[in-house]
Structure 1
Amino acid sequence: MSSPLETFAGLLDRSIREIATLATDARSFDATRIGRVADIWDNNTLHLVGAACAPWPLRSRRASTGLRWMADLGADRRRLMVDLDPSLDRMLPPAGRARSVHRDYRGRVSPGVFELTAEIIDVLAHDYDLVNGSVRSLTAQPSDEGLRVHLTLATPRLFTPSTGRVSGDGSTMPWPAAPLKFTFNGVTDLRFDAEDRIGMAISHTSAGSTVTIGRSGGLQATEASIWPYDPRWYESTAGQAADLTTPLTRPQRRKPVRTSTLTAPQSAAARALVMLMNHARLVHYYPNLAAGVPILDICRVAADAGSAILAAGARRGAERQTAFAELEQRWRRVPPTTPPEAARSGPVTLRHAWYDEPHHDHDDPHHGRAVLLAAVPGADPAAPWTLASEEITQPSRFRITSTAFDDGQHFHRDGTFLRIDDALVVR
């Protein structure tokens, strides 16, 4: 049976192998999962190094505390950790009940993510004009659970904010439409046309959610959630009701992990590895750059990092410092991001599609764009496929259906006109 420290280090090794597996062949590329796995190590690598370098009697306790701290971020984080290492299910405490509403630093109630139910839909329709809302952005990508769609609907409020928005020049302006951020999992029959993006209707049954967009668009999903990303939500009917039941105190996380004081080489090695993981998660936050991020090179540089930390921590004195200095030198060699390869006419497997409508909120103009990520074959048909991408600024046309993500599609390119039969049209 592995010790807590070995489990902690093994989780890092498994994370890097998982990222490599998702990137080895672009037909299985999952930008969201790569980002979630890499994100684990943003604020936990220092804890692992600290546990590995602690005095021997304290190592297991420090490692156990670090793993519990890591899982304390929420049920989704705990699920991801157990998915990477099932043995953690016995080691970690059950996930705490997540609050859908919390208070911000001013004491105002602020919404989190709500599971989409018939009741929540009724509440939304009472506070927001879904019928006159406009799809601001839509992202679709395959995952292990089926097609996943993120959709932001900019909706007029049916309640009146008590104050206007103060703009950058000090003047008072009306509040822009409220963004409602929907996530749909297990999506079937997606149909979206940017020319037909006004108006949304949602229904929910035990079988899932059905959405109508505009006159002829829509989707069906087995699971759905909603985040009302509205800074004035606390003034809505739902917000005022939540204010009566939400505790005045903000929920507290576990106490921060206590780590041993790291030496300069130990800290430098940990931060170099953090930078590698941050570089890997770019594919999630910046999909337009994903095809140029050298994920496999990053994974080769970071391979067996957890085991290497254990080995370096097991040394003593000057040998330990030298070992961590060598790790820092190895991990600081972040391969550069390169210009992404453009998709050519021919066979493709679409892995990501993103449409963003031009809008102007909070004094900042946002230019519309469309981003596509696709797996494409190389000269050797038996070799793994690679990732290619397209970014079109201010597209005049964007239409997509769920069949665009089917295997065996053919990509047509004619100048700035991109097409997968009738399943995807971008110009």
Structure 2
Amino acid sequence: MSSLLEAFAGLLDRSIGEIAAMATDARSFDATRIGRIADIWDNNAVPLVSAACAPWPLRSRRASAGLRWMADLGADRRRLMVDLDPSLDKVLPTARPERSVHRDYQGRVFPGAFRLTAGIIDALVHDYDLANGSVRSLTAQPSDEGLQVHLTLATPRRFTPTAGRISRDGSRKPWPAAPLRFTLNGVTKLQFDAEDRIGMAVSRTDAGPAVTIGRTGRLLATEASVWPDDPRWNESTAGQAADLTTPHARPQRRKPLQTSTLTAPQRAAAQALVMLMNHARLVHHYPNLAAGVPILDICRIAADAGSAILSASTRRGAERQTAFVELERRWRHIPPTVPPEAIRYGPVVLRHARYDEPHDDYDVPHDGCAVLLAAVPGADPAVPWTLTSEEFTHPSRFRITSTAFNDGQHIHHDGEVLRIGDALVVR
């Protein structure tokens, strides 16, 4: 393996290279993975520059501390780092056991994500009225683990919170339905119709977790988890049981890498790189803008950034400062987001579909919408496909099945209706 500092810088180069690979041809576009990779460098570009610019005896130690700090965010972050650079598996410590239940600053328990086991399903049914819940949102997209679906169910509680919610005007109001956020990976069957979104049942089958929605909706996956995003979960039966076993001591992260020795040009260059990566992760947080985010331009500007940091750090005195000034000038020009191209009639590969039901979220109204991302070919079949998108505000119809994500699909515009056969209907 190369030195730890070279591995640290190489991880940045690999991150940018993989983002570019996923964006070069929209048929392999993965907004979630792009967002996860770009997110690595939010808090880690500055530590990389600090390690590269440290005195020689300290570089390896600072690079090791930076990599460990990066991986300390959790098992998913460590897996992503090792996926980008398998040699890091021998360098990084094993991931700490992750708690499913934590405590807030007032000592109240609050839940994380629970693997959807038979016991967790029983606990959900005991505390929440799934049969009278309503689908608030559904997102489906291909990922490196197969088709992934995120499902949020607004569910009445079977328990009564001890105190009402204080609204924005200062009055006390009843708590709204609790959001239960399901994540299903390796989805082999998806059938959802927004007109039939009331009522849900969850079970375990030999093939994996299964979800029934309404009369005809169906989801079948190889694995699934649920996050009860309920601010009063601590008063549920499951929350009260967790309160008896959850430690009061809050787990502490490793101390961040010291970066006080950076000069102004070095810190400015690192911050410019952070802004580039933050712009790239917009495709994950704002899918309606994803087709207009210039990912390839961002990757072109940031290409070989890790190697450039190492090269600049080998300079001495004023030459080093000049090198980092030049890097900051190169990285500070973020390409603007442009209006995305609309999905047009013809062949497509669907990369993302989202439906949101109109709802109020703690006195803040949210409009209903549907968002689609699709790869479409150009006039030359040899040219990589490009990403297009369509956003429907207040959709009157949304129906989707897993076959909408198959290759070889054709999309049609019939008046105000967008359709992929019977696999996708949006109006």
SS of the residue 1:380 aligns to? coil
Q: Does 1:276 align with 2:287?
A: no
Partners of 2:72 and 2:204 in 1: how far apart?
31
**TM-score for the superposition, normalised by structure 1:** 0.99
Q: Does 1:225 align with 2:257?
A: no
Alignment of 1:41-190 (within 5 A): 41-190=41-190
2:202 paired residue number: 202
Q: Deviations over 1:159-194 (max 9, x none)?
A: 000000000111111100000000000001200000
2:307 paired residue number: 307
Partners of 1:26 and 1:181 in 2: how far apart?
28
Q: Deviations over 1:349-392 (max 9, x none)?
A: 00000000000121100000000000000111111000000000
Partners of 2:256 and 2:336 in 1: how far apart?
34
Specify the code of the residue in structure 2 equivalent to 1:94. T
SS of the residue 2:125 aligns to? helix
Partners of 1:316 and 1:396 in 2: how far apart?
64
CA drift of 1:259 comes to 2.5
SS of the residue 1:422 aligns to? coil
2:266 paired residue number: 266
CA drift of 1:261 comes to 1.8
Q: Tell whether the 8 Å contact from 1:353 to 1:370 is kept in structure 2 after alignment.
A: yes
SS of the residue 2:135 aligns to? strand
Q: Tell whether the 8 Å contact from 1:51 to 1:260 is kept in structure 2 after alignment.
A: no
Partners of 1:255 and 1:52 in 2: how far apart?
19
Specify the code of the residue in structure 2 equivalent to 1:105. Y
Q: Tell whether the 8 Å contact from 1:130 to 1:155 is kept in structure 2 after alignment.
A: yes
SS of the residue 1:187 aligns to? coil
Partners of 1:367 and 1:325 in 2: how far apart?
45
Q: Tell whether the 8 Å contact from 1:118 to 1:205 is kept in structure 2 after alignment.
A: no
Q: Tell whether the 8 Å contact from 1:53 to 1:260 is kept in structure 2 after alignment.
A: no
Structure 2 unaligned blocks of 5 or more: none
Q: Which is further off, 214-223 or 410-419?
A: 410-419
Specify the code of the residue in structure 1 equivalent to 2:135. V
CA drift of 1:260 comes to 4.3
Specify the code of the residue in structure 2 equivalent to 1:235. E
**TM-score for the superposition, normalised by structure 2:** 0.99
Q: Does 1:345 align with 2:335?
A: no
CA drift of 1:416 comes to 2.3
Q: Deviations over 1:184-215 (max 9, x none)?
A: 00001200000000011111145311110100
Partners of 2:233 and 2:24 in 1: how far apart?
43
1:240 paired residue number: 240
Partners of 1:163 and 1:361 in 2: how far apart?
18
SS of the residue 2:99 aligns to? coil
2:3 paired residue number: 3
Partners of 2:170 and 2:343 in 1: how far apart?
46
Partners of 1:329 and 1:12 in 2: how far apart?
19
1:354 paired residue number: 354
Partners of 1:312 and 1:395 in 2: how far apart?
52
1:417 paired residue number: 417
Specify the code of the residue in structure 2 equivalent to 1:404. A
Partners of 1:260 and 1:8 in 2: how far apart?
19
Q: Tell whether the 8 Å contact from 1:349 to 1:409 is kept in structure 2 after alignment.
A: yes
Partners of 1:74 and 1:114 in 2: how far apart?
15
2:318 paired residue number: 318
Structure 1 unaligned blocks of 5 or more: none
Q: How many residues align?
A: 427
Q: Tell whether the 8 Å contact from 1:208 to 1:223 is kept in structure 2 after alignment.
A: yes
Give the % identical residues: 81
Q: Tell whether the 8 Å contact from 1:288 to 1:390 is kept in structure 2 after alignment.
A: yes
CA drift of 1:256 comes to 1.8
SS of the residue 1:251 aligns to? coil
